[in-house]
Amino acid sequence: RDGARVGVWDAGMAGTAGVRSWELALHAQLRAAIAHRELVLHFQPVQEAATGRVASAEALVRWRHPERGLLPPGSFLPMAERSSLIIDLTWWELEEVIAQCARWSRAGVHLPVSANLSARMLVVDDLPRMITRRLAAYRLPPEMLTLEITESALVSQPARAAAMLGELRTAGVKLSLDDFGTGYSSMEILKALPFDEMKIDKGFVMDARASLPDAAIVRSVVDLGHRLGLRVVGEGVEDEQSARMLTELGCDLLQGDALSPPLPADELAALLTSGGMG
């Protein structure tokens, strides 16, 4: 799979001084990478559990590094998130996601897209305006875009984050609570924020395969989501057995390598138009 190179930047690092100069070098390279268009988005399809129809696709960033090959987000996003680079990266990512979705639409592929939003973005006041402007510029209906936010993103400044997400929701953008079950204040967050969707973390999904208590938890999480009017996505579906189990436990949608890994945009479109999925 394309995520096999996590930690490649850790090789040969020693001591804090080493870490600091390594981080500075990486920071400069990533800044240049955005300008030189070395970042790319891959798209992982999300399928209806009942029918297999592809309902949407999640955009996942990769760095096409000239020497190191395709780098997964885990090897550079944490560093970007420690600096203002995450803001530049997010503007790039949102522009790219919206442009791609509009391109697909024009080509007759009606595919809603999800973009991951870093915690740091929830205090950038420009965010709702920037998003609504880009959607308008590409004439894309706002409901074609879902923003995925993790629970942990919402704990540091909950009131401010809630106001911003409320603004986006009012503009018609969909909101998804990502990695559900890994945070602390899940219930409070679900109560306070206008989510459309909940994604059950892949850790849960994997554990549920082997353990009855975990399966019971997944079932009640699905139930909770449904009672709150949310659609529920099971992610990290690595095999047939997980797909079947999550469907039985009531998940509406499934995502994972067993169904399809994240793909370049044109490969996904080719797959969809050839009827190769769903």
CA dist 232 and 198 (Å) reads: 5
Q: Which stretch binds ligand C2E (CB under 6 A): 9-17, 214-222, 234-242, 243-251?
A: 234-242
Among 178, 195, 251, 254, binds Ca ion (CB under 5 A): 178
By CB under 6 A, tell whether 23 contacts ligand C2E.
no
The phi, psi pair for 146, rounded to 5°, reads -115, 135
256: contact with ligand C2E by CB under 6 A: yes
Radius of gyration of the CA atoms of the chain, in A? 19
Is 93 a binder of Ca ion (CB under 5 A)? no
**CA angle, 78 then 82 then 87, to 5°:** 95
Q: How far is the CB of 49 from ligand C2E (least distance, A)?
A: 15
Contact with ligand C2E (CB under 6 A): which of 45, 63, 72, 168?
72
Contacts of 250 (CB under 8 A, 6+ apart): 219, 222, 223, 226, 232
Longest dimension (CA), the chain: 54
Cβ atoms of residues 96 and 116 within 8 Å: no
Q: Which does 128 bind (CB under 5 to 8 A by kind): Ca ion, ligand C2E, none?
A: none
CB 141 within 8 A of CB 105: no
Work out whether 262 is an interface residue with ligand C2E (CB under 6 A).
Answer: yes
**How many Å apart are CA 52 and CA 254, to the nearest integer?**
9
CA end-to-end distance (rounded Å), the chain: 21
Interaction of residue 116 with ligand C2E, rule CB under 6 A: yes
60 vs 111, beta carbon nearer ligand C2E: 60
Q: Which residues 31-50 are close enough to bind ligand C2E by CB under 6 A? A: 44
CB atoms within 10 A of CB 66: 10
Q: How far is the CB of 108 from ligand C2E (least distance, A)?
A: 26
Residue 56 has phi, psi (to 5 degrees) of -165, 180
167, 188, 196, 238: residue in contact with ligand C2E (rule CB under 6 A) = 238
Told to check if 179 binds Ca ion by CB under 5 A, we report: yes
Does 90 sit near Ca ion (CB under 5 A)? no
Inter-residue contact 122 to 147 (CB < 8 Å): no
CB of residue 219 to ligand C2E, shortest distance in Å = 20
Nearer to ligand C2E, 20 or 37 (CB): 37
Q: Are 182 and 198 in contact, with CB atoms under 8 Å apart?
A: no
**Closer Cβ to ligand C2E, 17 or 210, answer by number:** 210
Asked if residue 77 binds ligand C2E (CB under 6 A), the reply is yes
Task: Rule CB under 6 A: say whether 114 interacts with ligand C2E.
Answer: no
Task: Give the side-chain half-sphere CA count within 13 A for 277.
Answer: 23
Q: Which of 33, 80, 122, 148 touches Ca ion (CB under 5 A)?
A: 148
Residue 14 or 76: the one with the smaller Cβ distance to ligand C2E is: 76
Q: Which residues sit at the interface with Ca ion, rule CB under 5 A?
A: 116, 148, 178-179
